[in-house]
A and B are shown apart, each in its own frame.
Chain A
């Protein structure tokens, strides 16, 4: 039986160690420009993307445009690839020529050890003006001066509201401050028995798109101090967010709200609670406009920027943004052709317009914006305007990736249900946990 224990744990150990058997990369980032494409040579490149289903088809369609422009380059677009697979491939040395990730939070992971090629020298050689990417996109594609990925389509967040319910409750305009949002949420809520038939607005962290990162910009809360330490305890915005969240959760009663949410329907499906009329207002990304168009075309809804924290009305109009990143793994067999492809997807105006219209995302190449704006629905216009607002920000690129955000959210989840203890102490605890986490993720600096 002791042997069984040893064997079982050995299995866990082996999973980890087998992953460690392959060759390791040298760790330095390449600082040379990628050679120019030999247009006479025929090549086939592999492009790994996380898209699936109809979205994968749309991406393939845009890639066909690239193939027409570069007749000697064939692109094999492989879908359903997550970051774990990219990292495992980078480790084994059997990499695709280029890859796209949904998780801009992993930029540091890709850039810090030279896992993806430094694109800086090539960008300069080709004369690409990175100022054609908005500031947030410039920020999340670079880690410590190494721009190893390009932005290709972005997401931004705002408020969705049900127009019919607004009219019924006598609300004439979407809320612009958190107090107005709270007030409207209460007006729009319809209780039935111990539960709700309609919830005005749920701020419950962990539910759908409710996360600290998405609220941060409209509460004017920053993640890091100027010294690069966690600002969770020192930024008043985070305290305001936690207090407001708890206030509204308490209004519904956390048990009743959790029960409602458990029956709210899967987020990325037609049964999403906003789309079925169970939620009157909701925080969501721009992609929802495309989903509503296909799954709930009769829904009367409007969109607006997220309400700003009380006393910070100047932040209204801004919001959170993040997006897809695409780069070339070290060891790619055809880096020149791969560069052609990723620069096409990120900086070719026509390609960006097509991607934006088809996927329902925001284009990251500023020249593409005008064209998209001309044809966009009023609901989508909101997100284009949020995207280009000077108060729109993103989460900082940190070595631990998503872990620091998750640490904070774990605490907020507890606090909103009354299990988080005293807020000030709780936030201080989170800040020191995040500092320790970052030190651990950089290696060698474990406290």
Chain B
């Protein structure tokens, strides 16, 4: 009898202790949980709901069913310009940035003298605020009186229209992207310096040239960083906004603050998906349609990331892994 009572008391004490622990855990997690639900889960779900409505911020949303998605996929002529421009970024700017950062990191890793100074110089542009850097580029590449075209003219070369030309605006933005690639560069540099010298030396002893050493030792060793760079690059390309917004406004002749009128200048060449989304949401107040655009963007971002990660199993090697 007394044994049964004792067991009961012990069990109750255990339950109480468990509850106390759970309460502590819940309390400690509360800041995250509140932040997550208020700033992430709710907006995500709300956007999902708004994507099925017509909503202009002023009157209550009216239910449209799939009409926004239908307009998005079937009718909206500007959407495809925006999608094509964004795909161009993924296809050209991301590889260019990754290859450039990797190439410079490889060169910097071999520097014998002044390595610290060189690394600092290459990293510095990454510290420039994006808007300031873009304004600086717009000035440098002004086709009429910018220093770049002025210098080209000394050699009898008529420089291109850069940010003012429909075919050169995106490549100019890529140049800006390459210039400010510092963060990626540092990560690559760390990875390159981390490649086991023993492996490189034994490969060299086995008669492997620089080319083979790179492809068979260095590249596999830094492949996880390469994967990281590609995934982050693709996500950044999908969200590419500030540079295009500022550059279009300045190139069109306005001030930085007046860019809304010049979105996509010239000839829609810089109308990227997020720029168009911004115009729909905050220029035209089509919040329902803009929400549908965000939902599609989320799905595409998830799909692309998933695809890259899946595909990466074939070429990414993690330390200690054998194949």
Contact = CB atoms under 8 A, between A and B. Distances in A.
B57 A91 contact: yes
With a 10 A CB-CB cut-off, give which of A26, A113, A259, A260 has the most chain B CB atoms: A259
Contact of A12 (B42, B71, B283, B297): B297
B282 A208 contact: no
A115 to B, nearest CB: 5
A385 B282 CA distance: 37
Given A2-B305, A5-B302, A7-B40, A113 B71 contact: no
A258 interface: yes
Interface stretch (B20-28, B202-210, B260-268): B260-268
With a 10 A CB-CB cut-off, give which of B42, B67, B142, B267 has the most chain A CB atoms: B267
Interface stretch (A17-25, A167-175, A346-354, A373-381): A17-25
A226 interface: no
A433 interface: yes
A255 interface: yes
B239 A441 contact: no
B264 A440 contact: no
Interface string B130-152: 00000000000011110000000
A400 interface: yes
B44 A88 contact: no
B253 A264 contact: yes
A50 to B, nearest CB: 12
B267 A417 contact: yes
Interface in A259-273: 259-264, 266-267
Nearest to A414: B267
Contacts of A12: 239, 274, 277, 294, 297
A9 B294 contact: yes
Given A414-B268, A440-B286, A91 B40 contact: no
Interface in B34-50: 39-40, 42-44, 46-47, 50
B58 A10 contact: no
Interface in A220-265: 255, 258-264
Contacts of B58: 24-25, 27, 87, 90-91, 109, 113, 115
Contacts of B60: 24, 26-27
B166 A419 contact: yes
Contacts of B46: 13, 17, 20
Contacts of A24: 58-60
B47 A16 contact: yes
A40 interface: no
A8 interface: yes
B62 A443 contact: yes
Interface residues of B, number: 72
A410 B248 CA distance: 14
Given A16-B290, A113-B59, A261 B253 contact: yes
B89 interface: no
A126 interface: no
Given A410-B264, A419-B166, A440-B289, A10 B70 contact: no
Given A6-B298, A258-B165, A13 B44 contact: yes
Nearest to B274: A12
Nearest to B234: A5
A244 to B, nearest CB: 19
A61 B253 CA distance: 32
A69 interface: no
B284 A441 contact: yes
A19 B43 CA distance: 10
B252 interface: yes
A84 B281 CA distance: 11
Interface string A337-349: 0000000000000
B55 A5 contact: no
B253 A267 contact: yes
- B interface secondary structure, majority: helix
Contacts of B19: none
A417 B290 CA distance: 31
A27 B166 CA distance: 42
A433 B282 CA distance: 20
B165 A255 contact: yes
A262 B144 contact: yes
B64 A444 contact: yes
Contacts of B142: 262-263
Interface in B220-259: 228, 231-232, 235, 239, 251-255
Interface string B192-204: 0000000000000
A446 B294 contact: no
A421 interface: no
A413 interface: yes
Nearest to A261: B253
Contacts of A263: 142-145
B309 A1 contact: yes
A262 B39 CA distance: 42
Interface string B2-34: 000000000000000000000000000000000
A105 B265 CA distance: 21
B149 to A, nearest CB: 8
Nearest to A429: B77
Interface in A1-51: 1-2, 4-10, 12-20, 24-27
Contact of A14 (B39, B266, B274, B283): B39
Contact of A2 (B277, B288, B306): B306
Contacts of B265: 206
Given A14-B40, A206-B252, A436 B266 contact: no
Contacts of A259: 143-144, 161, 164
Interface string B66-82: 01101100011110000
A13 B161 CA distance: 36
B59 A10 contact: no
A410 B264 CA distance: 9
A417 B297 CA distance: 32
Given A91-B58, A262-B143, A413-B266, A16 B50 contact: yes
Given A20-B57, A413-B266, A255 B161 contact: yes
Interface in B287-308: 287-291, 294, 297-298, 301-302, 305-306
A131 interface: no
A381 B62 CA distance: 49
B294 A433 contact: no
B170 interface: no
Nearest to A106: B285
Contacts of B239: 8-9, 12
A121 interface: no
Q: Which 8 pairs across A and B sit closest by C-beta, in order of nearness?
A: A263-B144, A443-B54, A14-B43, A17-B43, A17-B46, A446-B67, A27-B59, A13-B47
11 contacts: A1-B232, A14-B43, A16-B294, A20-B50, A91-B58, A262-B142, A263-B145, A410-B267, A433-B77, A446-B54, A447-B75
Given A16-B43, A18-B43, 4 more contacts: A4-B235, A5-B302, A16-B294, A20-B46
